[in-house]
Structure 1
Amino acid sequence: MSDNKNLQEPQKSGGLNFTRDNYMWMIIGAVVIAAGMMLMSGGASTNASIFDKTEVYSFRRITLAPIVILLGFGIEVFAILKKPKSGHK
């Protein structure tokens, strides 16, 4: 005979896993990622036969934009892992 008194049923939560704060942080992260993508994009060249290295390999496209995108992904990870406060249900 088995002793089932020590076994507990896992508690099921009937609500959503994320709170309003989680969704707010997810939206902020998505906006930061979109801003990084916009920083990485460039304008059209006036002459297609001329390759302008200063435009393509600029600080904004090579350094700043990837940092902003990684920051956005960091915000997304924070939003997913953020635990709700004890007062939220």
Structure 2
Amino acid sequence: MAQKIKDSTQKTKLPGMVFGKINYQFMLASIVVVAIGFFLMSGTKDIYSFTKITLAPIVVIIGFALGFVSILIRPKRD
């Protein structure tokens, strides 16, 4: 009974990066959009302005949604 000896020269394929380049680009864009939203929330002394109450929260939510999408996008595999 001959035993098969594993050849040590066999190449094992290591898994690549979990995220691709596009994922990191979307994540960076989402960070920038969230930062812009928080910048819009700060600012003038007028507490009840349209920018602070309506526009800035919408921009922040869009930024968080973009971050969520950046995690879900599948990178292209070769």
TM-score tier after normalising by the smaller chain length: 0.7 to 0.9
Q: Secondary structure at the match of 1:14?
A: coil
Q: Secondary structure at the match of 2:19?
A: coil
Q: Aligned residue for 1:42?
A: 43
Structure 2 unmatched runs, 5+: 1-12
Letter aligned with residue 83 of structure 1: R
Which structure's relative contact order is higher, taking Cα pairs within 8 Å and 6+ residues apart?
1
Q: Aligned residue for 1:65?
A: 56
Q: CA RMSD in A?
A: 1.6
Give CA-to-partner distance per residue, 1:45-83, whole Å, 9 cap, x none. Answer: 5xxxxxxxxx11100000000000000000000000001
Query: Percent identity, aligned pairs only?
Result: 45
Moved over 6 A (4+): none
Alignment CA distance shift 1:13-1:62 (3 Å):
farther
TM-score (norm 1): 0.68
Across the two proteins, how many residue pairs are aligned to each other?
66
Is 2:71 the counterpart of 1:80?
A: yes
Within 5 Å, which residues of 2 pair with 1:17-32?
A: 17-32=18-33
TM-score (norm 2): 0.77
Structure 1 unmatched runs, 5+: 1-11, 46-54
> What is the alpha-carbon distance in structure 2 between the residues aligned to residue 57 and residue 35 of structure 1?
19
